[in-house]
Amino acid sequence: MIRGFKTRAKALALEVREELNLDLMDPFDPYELAKLYGIEVVATSVLLPATAPKDAISGALVPTGTGTIIIDNDSEPPGRRKLTTSHEMSHVVLEHEFPAAIVDEQGCRTTIGDQEDEATFLAGELVLPYNAALKLAWRNTPDAVVARDYGISVHAAAWRMNASGARMLVNRSRKRRR
Protein backbone atom coordinates (compact mmCIF):
# COMPACT_ATOMS: atom_id res chain seq x y z
CA MET A 1 0.00 0.00 0.00
CA ILE A 2 1.16 3.50 -0.75
CA ARG A 3 2.52 5.39 2.24
CA GLY A 4 -0.22 7.38 3.90
CA PHE A 5 -3.01 5.33 2.32
CA LYS A 6 -4.39 4.08 5.63
CA THR A 7 -4.70 7.57 7.06
CA ARG A 8 -6.42 8.77 3.88
CA ALA A 9 -8.72 5.74 3.80
CA LYS A 10 -9.82 6.26 7.40
CA ALA A 11 -10.85 9.83 6.58
CA LEU A 12 -12.43 8.75 3.29
CA ALA A 13 -14.48 6.06 5.04
CA LEU A 14 -15.90 8.65 7.44
CA GLU A 15 -16.75 10.94 4.51
CA VAL A 16 -18.52 8.14 2.65
CA ARG A 17 -20.39 7.14 5.80
CA GLU A 18 -21.44 10.76 6.20
CA GLU A 19 -22.94 10.67 2.70
CA LEU A 20 -25.22 7.97 4.10
CA ASN A 21 -25.95 10.08 7.21
CA LEU A 22 -24.23 7.58 9.46
CA ASP A 23 -22.79 8.54 12.82
CA LEU A 24 -19.50 7.03 13.95
CA MET A 25 -21.12 4.11 15.79
CA ASP A 26 -23.84 3.34 13.23
CA PRO A 27 -23.70 0.07 11.27
CA PHE A 28 -22.92 0.41 7.56
CA ASP A 29 -25.00 -0.98 4.71
CA PRO A 30 -23.02 -1.46 1.46
CA TYR A 31 -26.27 -1.97 -0.46
CA GLU A 32 -27.37 1.56 0.50
CA LEU A 33 -24.00 2.86 -0.70
CA ALA A 34 -24.39 1.01 -4.00
CA LYS A 35 -27.81 2.62 -4.42
CA LEU A 36 -26.33 6.04 -3.69
CA TYR A 37 -23.65 5.48 -6.34
CA GLY A 38 -26.21 4.14 -8.81
CA ILE A 39 -24.62 0.71 -8.89
CA GLU A 40 -26.88 -2.27 -9.34
CA VAL A 41 -26.28 -5.28 -7.12
CA VAL A 42 -27.39 -8.51 -8.78
CA ALA A 43 -27.80 -11.72 -6.79
CA THR A 44 -26.27 -14.91 -8.18
CA SER A 45 -29.59 -16.68 -7.61
CA VAL A 46 -31.08 -14.34 -10.21
CA LEU A 47 -28.09 -14.40 -12.53
CA LEU A 48 -26.99 -18.02 -12.55
CA PRO A 49 -28.93 -21.18 -13.31
CA ALA A 50 -29.95 -23.16 -10.22
CA THR A 51 -27.51 -25.89 -11.23
CA ALA A 52 -24.45 -23.61 -11.02
CA PRO A 53 -22.08 -24.32 -8.12
CA LYS A 54 -23.05 -22.11 -5.17
CA ASP A 55 -19.46 -21.40 -4.17
CA ALA A 56 -18.23 -20.40 -7.61
CA ILE A 57 -17.76 -16.78 -6.56
CA SER A 58 -18.57 -14.69 -3.52
CA GLY A 59 -18.67 -11.36 -5.28
CA ALA A 60 -17.67 -9.56 -8.41
CA LEU A 61 -17.45 -6.12 -9.85
CA VAL A 62 -18.37 -6.24 -13.51
CA PRO A 63 -18.22 -3.35 -15.94
CA THR A 64 -21.19 -3.05 -18.26
CA GLY A 65 -21.60 -0.78 -21.25
CA THR A 66 -22.91 2.07 -19.14
CA GLY A 67 -21.35 1.48 -15.74
CA THR A 68 -20.62 -1.23 -13.25
CA ILE A 69 -22.67 -3.88 -11.51
CA ILE A 70 -21.85 -5.89 -8.43
CA ILE A 71 -22.58 -9.58 -8.32
CA ASP A 72 -23.59 -10.78 -4.88
CA ASN A 73 -23.59 -14.47 -3.95
CA ASP A 74 -26.80 -14.65 -1.97
CA SER A 75 -26.19 -18.28 -0.94
CA GLU A 76 -23.52 -17.04 1.47
CA PRO A 77 -24.10 -15.86 5.07
CA PRO A 78 -25.28 -12.20 5.33
CA GLY A 79 -22.19 -11.13 7.29
CA ARG A 80 -19.88 -12.39 4.60
CA ARG A 81 -21.96 -10.83 1.81
CA LYS A 82 -21.85 -7.52 3.64
CA LEU A 83 -18.06 -7.53 3.79
CA THR A 84 -17.68 -8.74 0.20
CA THR A 85 -20.06 -6.09 -1.13
CA SER A 86 -18.27 -3.46 0.97
CA HIS A 87 -15.00 -4.60 -0.61
CA GLU A 88 -16.43 -4.30 -4.12
CA MET A 89 -17.90 -0.87 -3.33
CA SER A 90 -14.49 0.17 -2.00
CA HIS A 91 -13.01 -0.49 -5.44
CA VAL A 92 -15.68 1.85 -6.81
CA VAL A 93 -15.07 4.55 -4.19
CA LEU A 94 -11.31 4.35 -4.79
CA GLU A 95 -11.93 4.55 -8.55
CA HIS A 96 -9.91 1.45 -9.27
CA GLU A 97 -9.96 0.63 -12.91
CA PHE A 98 -9.79 -2.92 -14.11
CA PRO A 99 -11.78 -5.11 -16.44
CA ALA A 100 -13.40 -7.24 -13.74
CA ALA A 101 -12.79 -8.13 -10.16
CA ILE A 102 -13.98 -11.47 -8.95
CA VAL A 103 -13.79 -12.39 -5.30
CA ASP A 104 -13.33 -15.98 -4.32
CA GLU A 105 -11.77 -17.67 -1.28
CA GLN A 106 -8.44 -16.07 -2.17
CA GLY A 107 -9.91 -12.61 -2.67
CA CYS A 108 -10.31 -10.83 -5.96
CA ARG A 109 -8.63 -12.41 -8.93
CA THR A 110 -7.07 -9.21 -10.10
CA THR A 111 -3.35 -8.98 -10.55
CA ILE A 112 -3.10 -5.61 -8.86
CA GLY A 113 -2.32 -6.64 -5.30
CA ASP A 114 -2.15 -3.11 -3.97
CA GLN A 115 -5.69 -2.39 -5.09
CA GLU A 116 -6.92 -5.51 -3.32
CA ASP A 117 -5.23 -4.48 -0.08
CA GLU A 118 -6.63 -0.98 -0.42
CA ALA A 119 -10.19 -2.19 -1.07
CA THR A 120 -10.01 -4.59 1.87
CA PHE A 121 -8.69 -1.87 4.16
CA LEU A 122 -11.34 0.66 3.12
CA ALA A 123 -14.09 -1.96 3.45
CA GLY A 124 -13.01 -2.57 7.04
CA GLU A 125 -13.09 1.15 7.80
CA LEU A 126 -16.53 1.51 6.21
CA VAL A 127 -18.01 -1.41 8.12
CA LEU A 128 -16.40 -0.48 11.45
CA PRO A 129 -14.29 2.71 11.53
CA TYR A 130 -11.14 2.66 13.62
CA ASN A 131 -12.48 5.29 16.04
CA ALA A 132 -15.64 3.24 16.54
CA ALA A 133 -13.53 0.10 17.18
CA LEU A 134 -11.56 2.10 19.72
CA LYS A 135 -14.72 3.10 21.60
CA LEU A 136 -15.92 -0.50 21.58
CA ALA A 137 -12.53 -1.64 22.88
CA TRP A 138 -12.74 0.84 25.78
CA ARG A 139 -16.18 -0.57 26.55
CA ASN A 140 -14.77 -4.13 26.51
CA THR A 141 -17.36 -5.09 23.90
CA PRO A 142 -16.83 -8.77 22.99
CA ASP A 143 -16.24 -9.65 19.31
CA ALA A 144 -19.52 -11.59 19.25
CA VAL A 145 -21.47 -8.48 20.27
CA VAL A 146 -19.61 -6.35 17.72
CA ALA A 147 -20.48 -8.98 15.09
CA ARG A 148 -24.16 -8.91 16.03
CA ASP A 149 -24.43 -5.11 16.19
CA TYR A 150 -22.57 -4.53 12.91
CA GLY A 151 -24.01 -7.46 10.95
CA ILE A 152 -20.65 -9.09 10.27
CA SER A 153 -19.15 -12.47 11.16
CA VAL A 154 -17.39 -12.93 14.50
CA HIS A 155 -14.22 -13.54 12.49
CA ALA A 156 -14.61 -10.18 10.74
CA ALA A 157 -15.40 -8.46 14.05
CA ALA A 158 -12.22 -9.92 15.59
CA TRP A 159 -10.28 -8.72 12.55
CA ARG A 160 -11.57 -5.16 12.94
CA MET A 161 -11.03 -5.08 16.71
CA ASN A 162 -7.51 -6.54 16.53
CA ALA A 163 -5.96 -5.80 13.15
CA SER A 164 -7.09 -2.17 13.42
CA GLY A 165 -4.97 -1.99 16.60
CA ALA A 166 -7.95 -0.83 18.70
CA ARG A 167 -7.83 -3.49 21.42
CA MET A 168 -4.05 -3.34 21.60
CA LEU A 169 -4.04 0.43 22.08
CA VAL A 170 -6.63 0.22 24.84
CA ASN A 171 -4.76 -2.59 26.61
CA ARG A 172 -1.51 -0.64 26.47
CA SER A 173 -3.14 2.53 27.83
CA ARG A 174 -4.65 0.56 30.71
CA LYS A 175 -1.32 -1.02 31.62
CA ARG A 176 0.36 2.36 31.65
CA ARG A 177 -2.23 3.71 34.08
CA ARG A 178 -1.72 0.97 36.66
Query: Given candidates 16, 22, 119, 156, which one binds Zn ion under the rule CB under 5 A?
Result: 119
Instruction: Identify the three-state secondary structure at position 107.
Output: strand
Q: Which of positions 99-118 make contact with Zn ion (CB under 5 A)?
A: 101, 108, 116
CB of 131 to Zn ion, least distance (A): 25
Smallest separation, CB 35 to Zn ion (Å): 20
**In the bound complex, what is the minimum distance in angstroms from residue 2's beta carbon to Zn ion?**
16
Give the integer Cα–Cα distance in Å for 5 and 7: 6
Q: Closest CB to Zn ion among 48 and 94? A: 94
Cβ 4 to Zn ion shortest distance, Å: 21
Burial of 61 per CB tally in 10 Å (0-12, 13-18, 19+): buried
Q: How many residues at the interface with Zn ion, by CB under 5 A?
A: 4
Contact 2, 114 (CB under 8 A): yes
Distance CA 91, CA 87 (A): 7
Cβ proximity to Zn ion: between 8 and 174 the closer is 8
Euclidean distance between CA atoms 154 and 1, whole angstroms = 26
Residue ranges that bind Zn ion, judged by CB under 5 A: 101, 108, 116, 119
